[in-house]
C-alpha cells in the first residue's frame, strides 16, 4: 500500500495556526495512520483535503467497504464529536462514536 501524502496547504495551515504544537502533530500523523490501519485492518487510500484541524483519509475495511479514518488534532474536542455522532441514528454511527471516544489523538511531544 503506498503511503498517504498529506496536502501541502493542510500542512502549512496547521503549522501556521498551531506553531510548534502543530508541526509536532504533523510529525505523528503518518505513523498514526499506519498504526490505526494495521489495528483496524484498513487499506488506506488517500488524504481528503478540506479539513482544517483534523486529518481525514479514505480507506477500505476488511469487507472492502469504504470508510474514512479521521484523526483529530489535540486542539479538537474528541468527546464533543463522539457525543454528536452518538445522537445520529443507526448502529454504525454509534459504533463510530465509540471508536472516536476511545481513540483520541495523542498529544504531540
Has residue 17 been placed in a domain? yes
Neighbours of 55 (CB within 10 A): 26
Beta partners for 58? Answer: 68
Looking at residues 94-98, what average pLDDT do you find? Answer: 49
Has residue 95 been placed in a domain? no
Domain count, the chain: 1
d(CA 59, CA 57) in angstroms, rounded, equals 6
Has residue 103 been placed in a domain? no
**Helix (H, G, I), strand (E, B), or coil: what is residue 79?**
helix
Q: Is the dihedral of CA 84, 91, 104, 30 positive or negative?
A: negative
Has residue 97 been placed in a domain? no
Question: What are 4-41's pLDDT values in tens digits?
Answer: 889 899 999 999 999 999 999 999 999 999 999 999 99
**Which pLDDT score is estimated for 92?**
56
CA angle 64, 57, 15 (to 5 degrees): 170
pLDDT above 90 covers a percentage of the chain that reads: 47
Has residue 99 been placed in a domain? no
Question: What are 31-48's pLDDT values in tens digits?
Answer: 999 999 999 999 999 999
The residue segments making up the domain with residue 12 are 8-74
Amino acid at each position: 500500500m503506498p503511503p498517504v501524502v498529506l496536502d501541502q496547504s493542510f500542512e502549512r495551515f496547521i503549522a501556521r495556526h498551531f506553531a510548534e504544537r502543530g508541526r509536532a502533530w504533523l510529525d505523528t500523523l503518518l505513523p498514526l495512520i499506519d498504526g490505526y490501519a494495521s489495528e483496524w485492518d484498513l487499506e488506506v487510500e488517500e488524504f481528503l483535503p478540506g479539513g482544517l484541524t483534523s486529518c481525514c483519509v479514505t480507506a477500505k475495511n476488511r469487507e472492502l467497504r469504504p470508510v474514512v479514518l479521521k484523526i483529530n488534532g489535540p486542539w479538537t474536542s474528541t468527546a464533543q464529536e463522539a457525543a454528536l455522532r452518538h445522537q445520529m441514528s443507526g448502529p454504525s454511527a454509534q459504533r463510530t462514536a465509540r471508536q472516536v471516544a476511545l481513540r483520541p489523538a495523542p498529544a504531540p511531544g
